[in-house]
Amino acid sequence: MTAERRHAPPTQDELDLLHYQSRIERPVAAKIPEFSRDERLRHVIFSRQFSVELLEDLAGTADKIRALSKARAGQDFLIGLLSHKRAMLYFTQPSTRTFLSFMAACQILGITCNEVRDPSTSSETKGETRFDSIRMFSSYFDLIIMRSPVAKLAEACAYLMNDLAASGNRSVPIVNAGSGADQHPTQALLDIYTLQRTFQFTSPKDSPIGTRFDEIRRQYANLTRGLSRKVYGFCGDIGRGRTVRSLAELLAGYEGVSLVFVSPQHPALSLGDDMRSRLVNRGVRVFEVESLETPIDGRPVIETVDALYMTRIQKEHNDPADEATFAAIDFSKYKLNRDLVNRMKSYAPILHPFPRDQFFGEIPQEIDADPRAMYFRQARNGMWARAALLAHIFNVDHQISRYYHEHYE
């Protein structure tokens, strides 16, 4: 679009984004307050909107929703909470997983879902601007969950909604379900939630006599519960994996974490300078290595990490100019196999944002049966975490806690 129009006058869509350029260019910290209202998130645009306190709060809500969903009475209670709300899932960039995860999350709370996925069937073909489309959605629906190939579009839509509210017009919350290459906050939310659950080290078999945590501690005496003071490995496409960046940002909020980035030494694939300095400034120990075998604190990464986050090599984003240098890279170092997994800590979860690439094979299926393989449960966690986020936005999380405490304690 922009490319072929480079020498043409800007389109209204481009002008609409330009209109918010100065607000978009502020540092994230300066922007975050605008996306909250009455002490809670109004729009969800950046992963950095999730403070550690909020993350703990959302995890608590997600755990309760999950528990209530085990029995019909709880399910009916949840479905009744927001049955008067209608959501628009505006996904002009395809993503079946994120889309279905949000659908399910809405349905758990009784929200009626509507979708626009193929822009070609939309009024845009009649020359309508994106902002006019968004205002249309906001006039019919109570929530807009959007995923777009256009960077910053979700952020700009949040400003539009705030400006409408300021001028006394109807305005609805915007949830960013992936905006260009820059942000995918709810993916980071579910990654954190998966780590939170894993590092509770609880198990149905736990008893006053002994718990799974006690058991693990026989082998790992210094192990503590929670996300702090742990070593997190990220392996594969670090440079282009927005989920890696978002998760790293959130982990930086916890005390004494070490982040190990395992990727080829190639500017497109390795950690960005801005990201590195931001992490270091927040007191994170950052390691960048080319292999899971490289030693950290005297032992290979694969044996050191408390959690391993695998990623897909995003070939579809390859710059043709890089093909030559890419061809020289030994990508086999960024794939797991049985032997590697066997050397990992017994409790260390393997995560992956999915989909995994069957042709590249960063996680071969032989790993799926391993107790450390968390990536399938991770998907279901995404549904619970997103439901918790929606409950927070619509201010029904306290009702959930109340119902839970009345019926389950």
Query: Do you find a cis peptide bond into 349, omega within 30 degrees of 0?
Result: no
Residue from 358, 398, 402, 405 in contact with a second copy (CB under 8 A): 358
Q: What's the closest the beta carbon of residue 76 comes to a second copy, in angstroms?
A: 7
Do the Cβ atoms of 233 and 305 come closer than 8 Å?
Answer: yes
CB atoms within 10 A of CB 152: 20
Residue from 100, 181, 216, 223 in contact with a second copy (CB under 8 A): 100
The string of DSSP codes covering 85-147 is -EEEEEESS--HHHHHHHHHHHHHTTPEEEEE--GGGSGGGGT--HHHHHHHHHHH-SEEEEE
Nearer to a second copy, 56 or 76 (CB): 76
Do the Cβ atoms of 174 and 152 come closer than 8 Å?
Answer: no
Query: Within a 13 Å sphere around the CA of 125, how many CA atoms are in the beta-carbon half?
Result: 5
Q: What's the closest the beta carbon of residue 136 comes to a second copy, in angstroms?
A: 6
Q: What is the largest CA-CA distance in the chain?
A: 74
Nearer to a second copy, 69 or 325 (CB): 69
The answer to the question of residue 200 lying near a second copy (CB under 8 A) is no
Cα–Cα distance measured from residue 303 to residue 293, given in angstroms and rounded to the nearest whole number: 9
Residue from 5, 26, 40, 170 in contact with a second copy (CB under 8 A): 170
Q: What's the closest the beta carbon of residue 279 comes to a second copy, in angstroms?
A: 28
Query: Within a 13 Å sphere around the CA of 10, how many CA atoms are in the beta-carbon half?
Result: 8
Nearer to a second copy, 214 or 368 (CB): 368
In order of 60, 191, 198, 304, 305, the CA distances from 230 in angstroms are 21, 15, 13, 10, 8
Q: What's the closest the beta carbon of residue 389 comes to a second copy, in angstroms?
A: 16
The answer to the question of residue 212 lying near a second copy (CB under 8 A) is no
The answer to the question of residue 22 lying near a second copy (CB under 8 A) is no
The answer to the question of residue 346 lying near a second copy (CB under 8 A) is no
Within positions 221 to 250, which residues make up the interface with a second copy, using CB under 8 A?
none
Q: What's the closest the beta carbon of residue 298 comes to a second copy, in angstroms?
A: 36
Specify which residues 176 forms β-bridges with. 146
The answer to the question of residue 75 lying near a second copy (CB under 8 A) is yes
The answer to the question of residue 114 lying near a second copy (CB under 8 A) is yes
Q: What's the closest the beta carbon of residue 377 comes to a second copy, in angstroms?
A: 8
Q: What's the closest the beta carbon of residue 143 comes to a second copy, in angstroms?
A: 13
Residue from 34, 57, 63, 128 in contact with a second copy (CB under 8 A): 128
The answer to the question of residue 165 lying near a second copy (CB under 8 A) is no
Do the Cβ atoms of 385 and 193 come closer than 8 Å?
Answer: yes
The answer to the question of residue 34 lying near a second copy (CB under 8 A) is no
The answer to the question of residue 13 lying near a second copy (CB under 8 A) is yes
244, burial (CB in 10 Å: exposed 0-12, middle 13-18, buried 19+): buried
- Total site size for a second copy, rule CB under 8 A: 62
The answer to the question of residue 101 lying near a second copy (CB under 8 A) is yes
Strands 86-91 and 36-37: unpaired
Nearer to a second copy, 143 or 305 (CB): 143
Of 289, 287, 222, nearest to 248 (Cα)? Answer: 287
Cα–Cα distance measured from residue 35 to residue 23, given in angstroms and rounded to the nearest whole number: 12
Q: What's the closest the beta carbon of residue 16 comes to a second copy, in angstroms?
A: 8
Q: Six-digit token pair at 118?
A: 């193929």
Nearer to a second copy, 105 or 302 (CB): 105
Query: Can you tell me whether residue 222 is helix, strand or coil?
Result: coil
Contact set with a second copy (CB under 8 A): 11-13, 72, 75-76, 79, 83-84, 86, 88, 94-97, 100-101, 103-104, 107, 112, 114, 116-118, 120-129, 132-133, 135-137, 139-141, 167, 169-170, 312, 316, 354-360, 365, 369, 376-377, 379-380, 383
